[in-house]
């Protein structure tokens, strides 16, 4: 179960780093730029820890889907970037794909 905690923390770190990337204004603002570098380093380190038992395809699917949703929510809250209907449908399809992998796939953590 710790490996799923590492994956969750990796997703949070990546979401923070991606949000800071927007705020860094092409790395011209120092504090958000530092958050980007530290956040991505932490995210990849934590992801590597989760891969001890979580299959890479499953981990990456969860990482991608949850990250996309969280970054979209951050964009809505912090930057007033509201997704339109096709974007919402796309997000729902991504989530459905990850749920399908986790519920129906025979790939499992060892």
CA torsion angle 25 81 84 93 (round to 10): 70
11-65 pLDDT, tens digit each: 999 999 999 999 999 999 999 999 999 999 999 999 999 999 999 989 999 999 9
The pLDDT tens digits of the residues spanning 87-98 come to 999 999 999 998
Q: Calculate the alpha carbon distances from 24 to 11, 18, 96 in Å.
A: 20, 10, 32
pTM value is 0.89
How far is the C-alpha of 37 from the C-alpha of 20, rounded, in Å?
A: 9
Distance CA 90, CA 72 (A): 12
Residue 108 confidence (pLDDT): 59
CA distance from start to end of the chain: 11
pLDDT in tens, 72-86: 999 999 999 999 999
């Amino acid at each position: 179960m710790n490996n799923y905690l590492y994956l969750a923390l990796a997703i949070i770190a990546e979401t923070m780093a991606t949000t800071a990337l927007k705020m860094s204004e092409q790395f011209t603002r120092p504090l958000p730029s530092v958050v980007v570098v530290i956040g991505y380093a932490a995210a990849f380190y934590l992801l590597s820890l989760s891969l001890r038992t979580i299959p890479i395809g499953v981990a990456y699917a969860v990482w991608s889907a949850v990250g996309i949703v969280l970054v979209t929510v951050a964009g809505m809250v912090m930057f007033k970037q509201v997704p339109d209907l096709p974007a919402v449908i796309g997000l729902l399809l991504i989530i459905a794909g990850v749920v399908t992998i986790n519920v129906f796939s025979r790939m499992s953590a060892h």
